[in-house]
Chain A
């Protein structure tokens, strides 16, 4: 029992310490904001890698998340509220919660883990030491492009997920409930506020940064060969997923 409590304590301390180190990393990266132009080639590479290549996955997840949201909402409305409000209810859920959170969680799996694996491999094969030895700061050369791309691309991916999510929701409404498109999209429009979309995008911005920073942080601190790289991949996913959900809660409290 005591050892159990000690373990919780130790893990909490580690979590707090890692969170602190992640902020330090963000600070160090921000110092290179003036060198974005000089690093543009690497940044474009990462925008492609992190953003463009995630589009198929995000479309897939968005479509099905929207469809499921629609089915669930229809079930809850049944007998109480007219299906005419289905579009509104589903789209609000997609904009403020499902779009950003699911996109970020999927990104944490795909992007966070791949950043950690790539940088972790570079760490254990001394490629990061080699950069240092050549008087090139790995923070600028490796972390800046990835973190910047995370901040930029996750919000964009979220917009895509929002869009296909609503399409998925409408697909269900049409196929299962025979809801005409004017009624579905009419109610989406009536309840549409820019604030809802913006709050989702602000969340996505934070989540995107968190995912990329965690990936870089975990990658840089990898130790111990191929096994260590495997561990790092898992750790990056777990840590960023936890931080995404924590931030989701904090941001929801702040924004609403």
Chain B
């Protein structure tokens, strides 16, 4: 279980999060929606302590992740798979080396066993046989999926997906959605999915929350989402140009 409590974060004078409260139950598939730049990625990074809050705290299995020493922090992080928005593959390494790095660093598996696991995960994300390629040879969507294969190589308890289907064609996106559901159902993984792909939301979410202006303004099921009378959520979900959210004119 992950408990996010009154989380505040600013970068310089730019306030991004101003009091996020959110609990994620074990086994749940939570989807976080919100406009670009509203702080979804920033929120995810706080969960594994890649960013530290200015105020507030996060408990992972009742442990305050901010407070633990490096050894415990790494122990906790091993239970997380994190898919970065930009995949964040190591560009000096091949696909296979990328995916197997956590195995090399944290397990005593033989090369053969590692190769087998890598092949299995590549299969799972729909990219069999690309072990020897370098990230620079992959398309954006392929990088994403390799990033996902790397994120799940240690069979984590929690998986955090930052826009897993952005940049994928609709069929591949549907496959990834299916994979997210399958991982959660078969392995009882807890999933937090950041997305603005509404199709993906419908297929994946047990519960949807919306981040807006630095706080969670909505929490409910997918069917609630469609009938909500919250105007902000309504405009976002139905992709309407008219409504309370307006593109801000740039200040110069």
Contact = CB atoms under 8 A, between A and B. Distances in A.
B196 interface: no
A135 B73 CA distance: 8
Contacts of A137: 70, 74
A134 B82 CA distance: 8
B78 interface: yes
Contacts of A127: 88-91
Contact of A126 (B74, B80, B84, B150): B84
B86 A132 contact: no
A130 B88 contact: yes
Contacts of B150: 134
B122 interface: no
Nearest to A130: B88
B74, B84, B88 — most chain A CB neighbours (10 Å): B88
Interface in B53-70: 70
Contacts of A126: 84, 86, 88
A136 interface: yes
A167 to B, nearest CB: 37
Interface stretch (B99-107, B168-176, B177-185, B219-227): B99-107
B84 A135 contact: no
Interface in A132-172: 132-137
B133 interface: no
A130 B77 contact: no
Contact of B74 (A122, A125, A129, A135): A135
A191 to B, nearest CB: 47
B84 A136 contact: no
Sorting the interface of chain B by its residue count into under 10, 10 to 19, 20 to 34 or 35 or more gives: 20 to 34
B50 interface: yes
Nearest to A118: B92
Contacts of B50: 129, 132-133
B46 interface: no
Given A134-B77, A135-B74, A137-B70, A129 B84 contact: yes
A129 B80 CA distance: 13
Contacts of B134: none
Interface string B86-130: 101111000000000110011000000000000000000000000
Interface string A21-63: 0000000000000000000000000000000000000000000
B45 A136 contact: no
Contact of A134 (B45, B73, B75, B105): B105
B33 interface: no
A135 B77 CA distance: 6
Closest 10 pairs (CB-CB, A-B) = A135-B74, A130-B88, A126-B88, A133-B82, A135-B77, A135-B78, A134-B102, A129-B50, A126-B84, A136-B105
Interface of A: 122, 125-127, 129-130, 132-137
Given A126-B88, A127-B88, A134-B101, 6 more contacts: A122-B90, A127-B89, A133-B84, A135-B73, A135-B75, A135-B105
